[in-house]
Amino acid sequence: MTIESLYPYTLVAVLLAAVWWFYRNNISASRALPALAFWASSVLYALVVFFTEFDAYYKLILMLPRDLTALVIVGLLANNLKKSRGFFALAVGVGFGSYLLYSNFVGETYKQYFVPKTNTKTPEKLASHGELLVDLKNVDNVAGLRTLLKAYNISLEPAFPEIADKNLTELDDYFLVNIPDAQLGNLTAIENILRQSGLIDWVERNETMSLSPIETKPVSGRQGRGDYGINDPNMDKVWSFEKLNVGAYFAHIKKNNIQPKKRAKIAILDTGVDAEHEDLKDNYLSTRKTYDKDKQSHGTHCAGIAASVTNNGLGIASLALNNEFVQVTSIKVLTDQGWGTQDGIIKGILLAADKGADVISMSLGGPSTDASQRAYSEAFRYAQSKGAIVVVAAGNESQNAKNTVPASCEGVITVSAINARLEKASFSNFVQDLKMGIAAPGEDILSTIPKNGYASYSGTSMATPFVAGLLGVMKALKPEMTTAQAYKILKETGNETKNTRETGMLVNPLGALKKVLK
């Protein structure tokens, strides 16, 4: 229980103590106990208000005046009705009514004004265009907002105008608030005006996000010793397949002549993908030509893990034994320097969903600031409604993934990284407090890089496409599979790691395959 959750209870206690005080004044000369109750509850209320992490504007301008007004009204009613037989009914009504009112209030608007102490700093960088995202109650309210913000020379524009199925989401009501550089010092004031306008449901900062640092090596020196029954020449350097028992997984597919019902599409939301890479092009499907290049290499590396062509005599392999199981596409949401904006990433999620992605793989993330999960979560709900499963990286800060977005958002499968000793990789965030956390290999992972190259990278970015690739095979076999069903299979068939509580279960391709086919 947080201190913020105590707020409605302390307020109700003050109101009931006030009623009791008036009532005792009427029936008895002894007023010490109700007076003590009133002052004690008032002090407790004051302490709770002081130590809550609501912002100062909300406390001073909204919370205290509103609560004092409620106290005055309750006091006047109690004083006038203290001799009536309905006095106790009034007291009970005040108590329950106040509880329902304020518990509902906190539940609906808590996130608007709550500023965690660990994240009270202004983000280092907001989007250069559209510094705020607002969810309008009605798109007809745009003119009213423009009038309210006229003094700041602000413009507004639809944030996600290209959504294919607007009836499936509220994101069509989101607008970008473009703040001139000269007015950025008034950012907090502008946010407060928006919150108090009565014209919006939500406002959040449109923050930028960068790739987490990863370790890179030219070519992996790690040796894998499994016999996988395939001819890709670099598999002796892919330790992950040995630990995941991929040899038995491939053998099971061959022995039982397992055929997919469809070719599942895996969308890599990243820095782009080198569409002409020798070990990717036969599995690659272009969404937009501008996404088919990758100057950074991160996106191409992730694509190779998820869907490199298996058994083609080149490079490495993925969990798709042949080209009939999966195809991979790129949605470029990060720049060549490896950073992107929240609205740009959300646009990528929506586009992937609208283009029929079965799995959306997101090896990106950043600090969970400014209650920045609402728009992301709405985008993930949209993707799920279109049949996609979203997989995201836990992050590389060696901390709790609940402090990272989109790893901590509702509706995503979040992936931690393990090393060859089946330990949590030293850099990996832990997922023990998330609803759908899972583990995959993420240290010294050999995969594709632009210009027909191969290199070993380390990060939860590498673990994520392992899971995306497996989910692609699962969706190819059972296209109607939901996120919840998929995660249940991964968890129930997964293997223990040496740090299972922190990492979640390690994916088990053979076990998951058998479960899907039951």
Active site residues: 270, 298, 461
Cβ-proximal residues to 407 (8 Å cutoff; 6+ apart), any chain: 365, 392, 393, 394, 395, 401, 414, 429, 431, 434
C-alpha 208, offset from chain centre: 15
Give the CA angle between residues 166, 355, 346 to the nearest 5°.
60
Which three-class secondary structure string do you get for 191-228? HHHHHHCCCEEEEEECEEEECCCCEEECCCCCCCCCCC
Other beta carbons within 10 Å of 89: 11
**Coil vs helix vs strand at 247:** helix
CA-based radius of gyration for the chain:
28
**N-term to C-term CA, the chain:** 42
Cβ-proximal residues to 15 (8 Å cutoff; 6+ apart), any chain: 70, 71, 74, 94, 95, 98
Other beta carbons within 10 Å of 104: 11
Residues 156, 159: Cα–Cα separation, whole Å: 9
Residues 28, 182: Cα–Cα separation, whole Å: 64
The beta-strand segments (E) located in 304-351 are 326-332, 339-341
State the alpha helices, DSSP H only, in 271-427: 298-307, 342-354, 374-385
Cβ-proximal residues to 409 (8 Å cutoff; 6+ apart), any chain: 373, 376, 377, 380, 392
Residues 391, 362: Cα–Cα separation, whole Å: 6
